Amino acid sequence: MNRFAEKLKRSWFKFAESKISIVGLVIVLAVVLLAVFAPLVAPYYDHCGAYVNFADANKAPCSQYLLGTDLMGRDILSRLIGSLRSTLLMSVIVLSISVPVGFIVGSIAGYYKGSLLDTILMRITDIFLSIPSLVLAMAIAAVLEPSLKNSMLAITVMWWPWYARLAYGIASSMKAENFIIYAELTGAKLPHIIFREFLPNCISPVLTKMTLDVGYVIITGASLSFAGLGEQAPKPALGNMISTGIDYLPGSWWMTIFPAVTIILIVLGFNLLGDGISNIFNMEDN
Amino acid sequence: MSSIIKSTVKRLLWAVVVLLGLSVMIFSLLRIIPGDPARMALGETASEEAVALYREEMHYNDPLPIQYGYWLKGVLQGDLGMSINTKRPVLQDVKEFLPATLELVLWASIPPIFVTLFFGIAAAMYKNRWPDYLLRFTGYIAIATPSFVWAVFLLLIFGFWFHILPSIGGRISLGYQVPAVTNLVILDAILAGDWAAAWDAFLHIILPATALSIGHVMQEARIIRSAMVDNSGKDYITMITSQGVPARVINQKYLLRPSVISAVSIMGLDIAGMFGNAFLVESIFNWPGLSRYALNAIMGKDINAVCAVVLIYGVIFILMNFLVDTVVLILDPRMRQGRSS
Amino acid sequence: MGKEENILEVRNLSVSFKVMDQVSHVVDGLDFFVGRGQRVGLVGESGCGKTTTLKAILNVLPRNAIWEGDVLFEGKNVREMGREELNHLRRKGAGMIFQDPSSALNPVFTVGDQFLTALRYTYDTKVNKKVLWQQALDALSSVSLPDPERIMENYPFQLSGGMRQRVCIAMTIAAGRQVLLADEPGTALDVTIQDQILRLINRLVEEKGLSVVMVSHSLGVIRESTSYVNIMYAGTIVESGVTDQVFSHPKHPYTKALMACIPKLTGAGIAEGIPGRIPDYLNPPAGCRFCPRCPMAEDICRKQKPPRTEAEPGHWVRCFCAEGVR
């Protein structure tokens, strides 16, 4: 317990060494708390749906509506807070599916490096990597019905190959190490080797990549939503709020600018946090 | 030199394998959609006989692998099917819209390379002084901003607030007649000697190209900066410094080349990724390119058009990676041995 | 010129490094002298600041280094040199052979490219490329490298460690520098090659009449190839004198311990190592830096730095307790 506390303290020291990571941590914590307590925090939570009040439509930021209202008279601030849940949910779901899938595919291919199985698995991975990710995600989202769920699916499909590559690199270089050979000699089965031997060695690079990927998933999700392939109206999403607002530039700038700034802030927060976390791992390696 | 050729041939072969895999994937995408493809192609009003005839004609009754064979043969001959939206062969649409996207991506990738180098080197040379801090600060923000958000900001600032640059007028102002040679408007105008048109077209491309490239520029500049800072402490730099070679020569040659290699290898991925981001940027700036066309196709469930664009972008992406690997091979002699053995 | 015709003098040199928010005091009041044509050894454990000292002589310390004291080359202070004088020093005065030949050559340029660039600037006027090329070929031949034409066109990774080390030596001697700073030559390579490299350096030094600073952690190497030796511990010269004299009558407890570490063929088994390790440079001992490991340490050793004292004629030692000092 003491050693764990010691390690935690050291990690925090390394993390906090760059003050800017703390800024990231604060932003991320704020975003998560806002998302969790959205119904309590948002001034008009019922505006996150098919609410209409034309009397207050298209209002500039004022004391009643801090960030203004949209064409239906809905409070932009409440809708922004309401959109955080789906934004965070998307990165959690995408990463929690694509990371294990990618890890297992990559480590199996790496373990059987040089075999037919390796060639097949890694070529499939290469094929997925051979299309710009957003193009592929859009094509998949196009075939399916546009919805939040399907946009998550589309992003997951294009995300796992990166982790397969990462795990493949580590597994194939570890394969020839003595302790793996020893484990094989003592009769260890494939699952044992993958989860007991490869996994511990993959954790730090995979976690580093994951923390830096959260921002990218959010950007990709927002892009899909901007194209109309994500969360559907009347539910709020950062991308679709911008694409609606863009037709009313420059007059009703608040409909576009505030969601845009929100995306930047969230992604910035996760990127800074990710940098800080990768500092912890990088220093441990040295 | 022969090791370069050997590894090039090997990589070309792999590129072909990946392309074939890609075609299988796209074919599956075409067949995944629910419903009868023949009925969808002909519409609700077509007679049952016509649909049956069409089905026979398109080999929809054959087993899937054979269908794939026919489909691939068609694609290789330039038959990408008909577009439901435009009621024209998809190939014709591609020919019309691809040059605009190519021109955009070209301008978003080649000139920014110099900006990237300048920023990266400046930050490394002025490490922990204000140019470095400025780059780091703006870099964090620029990287966190999706390109469609950049497009919105640029549109607002330059299109609406300060009318300095054209923002939603397409590739060139009305009234200019540029003879189509390459279909890259700026190049065509220059070839025709019409400098006014070239300048006008150049002004049109600035905003969308900036929106596409700015995040990548900052990201790559950061990579170059940290590589230069890391490498400046390496023995080989100390060694050549101790031999009395001027700092200018060391920085511009012996430090720069090993430091740009990692940036170059991600630059290729980034440039190819721009085709994806172009979907949104083109539609914001009303840029008549293939990506905007594809976005409309996605909205209209024009599956032939979507698949054609995915295929074309896949091919460009694979070619791009091939090109980048070759550049890296030239820059980094160590890779030549690593790849060929 | 100095009274003893010293080509190189290092006086009271201190170098510290900023590491994160702390300062690591590596070299601490170091002094030694190299006479014209003299071969001087610098011995010590790894991490005692030998490489740092050599880098300071050429003013190529890393950016985070802070240094004090004087390094005089031909009577001129390296720290006060302008760009021209510094270039003169690096191009024609002294050259360094780096310890690890695998990292000393730029991996993405050919040997020829790097060699020619280095050579070009040793001339004040522009010299024909063919002349430079020939000069480089001659230098490569003089370090016994076969097929120098091919080596010029090779990239460093295409050469073996020994060949790379020879290339580095060739680059350093080609321009006719007067002082050779050899940082543990060959230790990164296997023993037989190390031996060849050492013999090569000794041969070149003989032929060209160079002055040498030979850095090593191996007493055998120093004994064979130097006439004067400085024993270095944790950034300070603890003992110095004519090589034979120091080896036959070591005065400082550290030198004695070092000698005891050499396995003797006639001795009984392997000698003991020196207990303890090099001090923490972040918080070095206030007095003598060897004192935490010293069997003879007294109170004064912990409080004061021992001065440089002549224990017997021409044999200097920094110790309060050494024989001949008290």
Q: What is the DSSP string of A168-222?
A: HHHHHHHTTSHHHHHHHHTT--HHHIIIIIIHHHHHHHHHHHHHHHHHHHHHHHH
In this predicted structure, the answer to whether residue B331 has a pLDDT above a threshold of 80 is yes
Beta strands in chain B (DSSP E): none
In this predicted structure, the answer to whether residue B338 has a pLDDT above a threshold of 60 is no
C181-198: average pLDDT: 86
Nearest-Cα distance to chain B for A141, in Å, is 8
Average pLDDT, rounded, for chain B: 86
Distances (CA, A) of C219 to B5, B216, C184, C263: 51, 55, 12, 11
Structure tokens at C201: 């350096």
Nearest-Cα distance to chain B for A110, in Å, is 18
What pLDDT was estimated at residue B339?
37
**If pLDDT is split at 50, 70 and 90, which confidence band does A233 have?**
confident
Q: Say which DSSP state B183 is in.
A: S
pLDDT tens-place string over residues C84-104: 899 999 999 999 999 888 899
Strand-strand pairing, C65-73 and C6-19: antiparallel
What pLDDT was estimated at residue A108?
93
Q: Which residue of A125, A129, A140, A143 to mutate against B (max B Cβ within 10 Å)? A: A143
Residues of C in contact with B240 (CB under 8 A): 106, 114, 117-118
What pairs with residue C76 in β-bridges?
C73
Identify whether the C-beta of residue A167 lies closer than 8 Å to the C-beta of residue A202: yes
Nearest-by-Cβ selection for C90 from B234, B242, B337: B242
In this predicted structure, the answer to whether residue C257 has a pLDDT above a threshold of 80 is yes
Give every strand in the sheet of C6-19, ordered side by side: C22-35, C6-19, C65-73, C76-77
pTM above 0.90, yes or no: no
Q: How far apart, in whole angstroms, are the C-alpha atoms of residue C172 and residue C182? A: 10
Nearest-Cα distance to chain A for B307, in Å, is 7
With H, G, I as helix, E, B as strand and everything else as coil, classify residue C39. Answer: strand
Q: Which residue has the higher pLDDT, C189 or C160?
A: C160
Domain B90-340 architecture = Orthogonal Bundle (1.10)
The residue of chain B nearest to residue C98, with distances taken between CA atoms, is B239
Q: Which residue of B236, B340, B341 to mutate against C (max C Cβ within 10 Å)? A: B236
What pairs with residue C16 in β-bridges?
C25, C66
Q: Say which DSSP state B82 is in.
A: B
B181-193: average pLDDT: 85
Q: Do C117 and B242 touch (CB under 8 A)?
A: no
Q: Do A134 and B140 touch (CB under 8 A)?
A: no
**Interchain contact A153–B (C-beta under 8 A):** no
**Interchain contact A131–B (C-beta under 8 A):** yes
Q: How far apart, in whole angstroms, are the C-alpha atoms of residue C214 and residue C220? A: 12
Task: Report how many Cβ contacts below 8 Å link chain B to chain C.
Answer: 83
Q: Do C157 and B334 touch (CB under 8 A)?
A: yes
Residues of C in contact with B261 (CB under 8 A): 108
Most confident of B313-322, C13-22, C126-135: C126-135
**If pLDDT is split at 50, 70 and 90, which confidence band does C47 have?**
confident
What pairs with residue C70 in β-bridges?
C11
Q: Do C104 and B235 touch (CB under 8 A)?
A: yes
Q: Do B146 and A219 touch (CB under 8 A)?
A: yes
Nearest-by-Cβ selection for B33 from A143, A219, A228: A143
Q: Which residue has the higher pLDDT, A130 or C155?
A: C155
Closest of C248, C223, C219 to residue C315, by C-alpha: C248
Q: Do A127 and B21 touch (CB under 8 A)?
A: yes
pLDDT tens-place string over residues A76-120: 899 999 899 999 999 999 999 999 999 999 999 999 888 899 989
**Interchain contact A132–B (C-beta under 8 A):** yes
Interface residues of B toward C, Cβ cutoff 8 Å, are 232-246, 249, 253-254, 257-258, 261, 331-334, 337
Closest of B254, A13, B79, B340 to residue C156, by C-alpha: B254
**If pLDDT is split at 50, 70 and 90, which confidence band does C181 have?**
very high
pLDDT tens-place string over residues B54-108: 888 777 778 888 888 888 998 888 888 888 888 889 999 999 999 999 999 999 9
In this predicted structure, the answer to whether residue C167 has a pLDDT above a threshold of 90 is yes
**If pLDDT is split at 50, 70 and 90, which confidence band does A172 have?**
confident
Beta strands in chain C (DSSP E): 6-19, 22-35, 39-43, 65-73, 76-77, 94-97, 179-183, 211-216, 228-233, 236-242, 309-312, 315-317
In this predicted structure, the answer to whether residue C141 has a pLDDT above a threshold of 70 is yes
In this predicted structure, the answer to whether residue A285 has a pLDDT above a threshold of 60 is no
Q: How far apart, in whole angstroms, are the C-alpha atoms of residue B250 and residue C88? A: 17
Closest of B124, B146, B35, B90 to residue B290, by C-alpha: B90
Q: How far apart, in whole angstroms, are the C-alpha atoms of residue A49 and residue A75? A: 11
Strand-strand pairing, C94-97 and C179-183: parallel
What pLDDT was estimated at residue A1?
60
Taken in order of first residue, the domains within chain C and their CATH numbers are: 3-318 (3.40.50.300)
Instruction: Name the residue ranges covered by the structural domains of chain A.
Output: 30-285
Q: How far apart, in whole angstroms, are the C-alpha atoms of residue B79 and residue B128? A: 57
Closest of B282, B277, B275 to residue B313, by C-alpha: B275
Instruction: Name the residue ranges covered by the structural domains of chain B.
Output: 2-76, 90-340
Give me the percent of chain A exceeding a pLDDT of 90: 33
Q: Which residue of B271, B298, B318 to mutate against A (max A Cβ within 10 Å)? A: B298
> A30-285 maps to which CATH number?
1.10.3720.10
Neighbouring chains of C at 3+ CB pairs under 8 Å are B
What pLDDT was estimated at residue C34?
93
Q: How far apart, in whole angstroms, are the C-alpha atoms of residue A158 and residue B118? A: 33
pLDDT tens-place string over residues C191-246: 888 888 889 999 998 888 899 999 988 888 888 889 999 999 888 999 999 999 99
Residues of C in contact with B243 (CB under 8 A): 90-91, 95, 118, 121, 171-172
Nearest-by-Cβ selection for A135 from B14, B145, B275: B275
Residues of C in contact with B238 (CB under 8 A): 55, 60, 62, 98
Q: Do B141 and A268 touch (CB under 8 A)?
A: yes
For chain A positions 85-124, those within 8 Å of chain B (CB to CB) are 123-124
What pLDDT was estimated at residue C273?
60
What pLDDT was estimated at residue C267?
43
In this predicted structure, the answer to whether residue A267 has a pLDDT above a threshold of 90 is yes
Give me the percent of chain C exceeding a pLDDT of 70: 92
A2-21: average pLDDT: 82
Identify whether the C-beta of residue B288 lies closer than 8 Å to the C-beta of residue B97: yes
In this predicted structure, the answer to whether residue C270 has a pLDDT above a threshold of 60 is no
**If pLDDT is split at 50, 70 and 90, which confidence band does B268 have?**
confident
C74-80: average pLDDT: 89
Can you give the three-state secondary structure of C168-230, one letter per residue?
HHHHHHHCCCCEEEEECCCCCCCHHHHHHHHHHHHHHHHHHCCEEEEEECCHHHHHHHCCEEE
What pLDDT was estimated at residue C274?
66
Q: How far apart, in whole angstroms, are the C-alpha atoms of residue A95 and residue A211? A: 10
With H, G, I as helix, E, B as strand and everything else as coil, classify residue C33. Answer: strand
Nearest-Cα distance to chain B for C171, in Å, is 9
Residues of B in contact with C158 (CB under 8 A): 337
**If pLDDT is split at 50, 70 and 90, which confidence band does A160 have?**
very high
What pLDDT was estimated at residue A97?
95
Residues of B in contact with A20 (CB under 8 A): 140
In this predicted structure, the answer to whether residue A7 has a pLDDT above a threshold of 90 is no
B276-300: average pLDDT: 89
B7-19: average pLDDT: 85
With H, G, I as helix, E, B as strand and everything else as coil, classify residue C24. Answer: strand
Backbone angles phi, psi at C212, to 5 degrees: -135, 140
In this predicted structure, the answer to whether residue A124 has a pLDDT above a threshold of 60 is yes
Q: Do B32 and A272 touch (CB under 8 A)?
A: no
Q: How far apart, in whole angstroms, are the C-alpha atoms of residue B31 and residue B28? A: 5
